[in-house]
Amino acid sequence: MESQAILNLSKLVNDDFADAVNLIYQSKGRVIITGIGKSAVIATKIVATLNSTGTPAIFMHAADAIHGDLGLILEDDVVIFISKSGNTPEIKVLVPFIKSSKNKMIAITGNKDSYLGQQVDYVLNAYVEKEACPNNLAPTTSTTAQLVIGDALAVCLLELRGFSSTDFAKYHPGGALGKKLYLRVHDLSSVNQKPQVTADTSIKQVIVEITEKMLGVTAVVENDKIIGIITDGDLRRMLSKVDNISTLTAKDIMSANPKRIDANAMAIDAMDIMESHEISQLLVEEDGKYAGVVHLHDLIKEGII
């Protein structure tokens, strides 16, 4: 029932929706969203979505508004009312006060002929035939419809503003989502130790270097340039084949032309390379010079994986 109600909403979109989007887009103020009951809960989610996609928004509970919170509405703010019936007592008290302040008003309501529908500048029709509740009482289908309309508003505004993934990262610096969008390889590799040996380094010293730097790998470097890599796996394979390692050097067991990544690349790109080649470490370069190591565990620790 709820999915069918969402499908039906597309038939109810008219010029009021486009005009409401443009009104918010061109407004110098914020979006104030108000409601009561379950509609108030939906309002808080729409506020959060707008804020995170570049449209400043504030939630104002309809009951609190008529007991002092009206003071948060500024001259250029656009007010969105969410109400299934459009006839709740709190809404009827609230609308005249906001109208007298000459703030533009938008309604998300299932009854465009209601008191609210008749008083606002634009009506976004959230009509549903029936609630999913078997008694047709608990707000279920109606609140889903309200939520979808709020998301549609946010996405239209996002596209009008040219809101990019870079902008998204700016508003979401915390958590794995934000880190995928802003965390760079340098941020991870710079806190790690920097294991390196030369081509002529003895195998004993290679083992010491890998052990001390605790990354399971060392770069083989010549004139600050990466020429190879030696991993724990390379050492185990060598020991299974060679009895006397005293004459061996790094160049005898290194893998030439290893996978590498630029220090300024996104950390998520490092993860993609590691996954596609089934490896746990990547050597890092900056301006063509060896700059360190990024490890799979770094990505796990940051929550990217």
Residues within the annotated binding site for Zn(2+)? 61
Please, are residues 168 and 293 in contact by the beta-carbon 8 Å criterion?
no
Which residues does 176 contact at the CB level (< 8 Å), separation at least 6? 302, 303, 304
Annotated binding residues, written as ranges, equal 61
Locus of tokens 């299934």: 84
* Residue ranges of E strands in the chain: 31-35, 57-61, 78-83, 105-109, 122-125, 196-197, 217-222, 225-231, 255-256, 260-262, 281-286, 289-295
Alpha carbon of 124 to those of 88, 110, 283: distances in Å? 17, 9, 54
Locus of tokens 């103020």: 29
Give dist(CA 256, CA 66) in Å, integer.
73
Give dist(CA 284, CA 149) in Å, integer.
46
